[in-house]
Structure 1
Amino acid sequence: MNVFRITHKKWSEKLIASGYAARWNSNGFFVIYAAENCSLACLENLVHRNGFGLDDDYCLLTINILNAIKKTEFHEKDLPNGWNENNENGQLICRKFGDEWLRSQSSCILIVPSAIITNEKNILINPNHKDFVKIKLQLSQPFSFDKRLL
């Protein structure tokens, strides 16, 4: 399965995680965020950057995840009300699930609904899992956000 990530050019040569808090992880928990398609990766960047810093110094990463790698999936029906709210409460709900997944080391991949478009999926990759070595950065290519989106 191929998944997609849009990142600044300086981070586009390898798969790395910052360890900064995001929707599905608390500070100090390392996660690589990707999406099931390029368009969702673009929307996630637009929402989280609020239109700032979306210059031409970005790359679209194509990441190959072998089908044999174990995956965990959270469906919207498995999550409590408010999980997709764009506030601290929504993020705290998701972080609880994501942090527990990371602690458990039960799988290298977590598939979650996008808070933007809930019937599309974000793909979280645990770089500290033993199966991470089987995940490959297949392609890194320049990416520009269409100016009409800004």
Structure 2
Amino acid sequence: MLVYRITKALYADRLVASGGAARWNERNQFVIYTAATRALACLENVVHRSGEGLQENFRVMVIDVPEALRVETILPESLPTDWFDFQQYDACQRLGGEWLRQGRTAVLRVPSAIIPNEWNYLLSPSHPDFSQIQLLRTEPFVFDPRIKV
């Protein structure tokens, strides 16, 4: 399975996590966020970089998750009805943190908070199976200037 991450070119040559807090992890929990499609990866950047701008040099990271690798899934039905709301970050962070601490899988499939029925994939660099996940290539990416943030 291929997953995608759009990031500044400076960080696109390796699979590393910053440890910054996000929807599914607390600060100092190292997780790499990826998306099922380039389009979803683009929207995630538009939403999360709104104050930062989209004019820098970006790349799409094309990442291979071997089909044989087990993937855990958090289904939307198992979450609070307003899980996608910023006020519910703590509920999502608890679930992601538990997955990370227990080391159940190298990959966690989570629902997109932006597009219903779309999926993001979290990668855990500390999991033993992470070594099977490979950065295949990077591709240039330019945000369409008609996208207004």
- Pairwise CA distance, 1:70: 1.1
Structure 2 letter corresponding to 1:49: R
1:56-102 residue CA offsets vs partner (Å, 9 max, x unmatched): 410001000001111100111011222100x2x22111101000000
What does residue 91 of structure 1 align with? 89
Corresponding residue pairs, total: 148
**Distance in 2 of aligned mates of 1:23 and 1:114:** 10
The DSSP-based 3-state class of the residue aligned with 2:146 is helix
AA partner of residue 33 (structure 1): Y
1:123 aligns with 2:121: yes
Q: CA deviation at 1:23?
A: 0.5
Name the counterpart of 1:57.
Answer: 57
**Alignment partner for residue 109 of structure 1, among 94, 107, 110?**
107
Task: Quote how far apart the aligned CAs of 1:52 are.
Answer: 2.8
- The answer to whether the Cα contact below 8 Å between 1:56 and 1:143 also exists between their aligned partners in 2 is no
CA distance in 2, matches of 1:20, 1:97: 16
Following the alignment from structure 2 to structure 1, what is the Cα–Cα distance between the partners of residues 138 and 53?
19
Sequence identity (%): 43
Structure 2 residue aligned with 1:3: 3
Tell me what 1:139 maps to. Answer: 137
Note the C-alpha offset of 1:149: 1.0
Partner of 2:29: 29
Q: What is the TM-score normalised by the length of structure 2?
A: 0.96
Q: How far 1:51 sits from its partner (Å)?
A: 5.6
* Amino acid in the other structure paired with 2:7: T
**Residue in structure 2 matched with residue 43 of structure 1 by the alignment:** 43
Please report the RMSD computed on the Cα atoms of aligned residues, expressed in angstroms: 0.9
- Partner of 2:13, secondary structure, is coil
Distance 1:9 1:43 in 2: 18
Contact 1:71–1:109 (Cα < 8 Å) also in 2:
yes
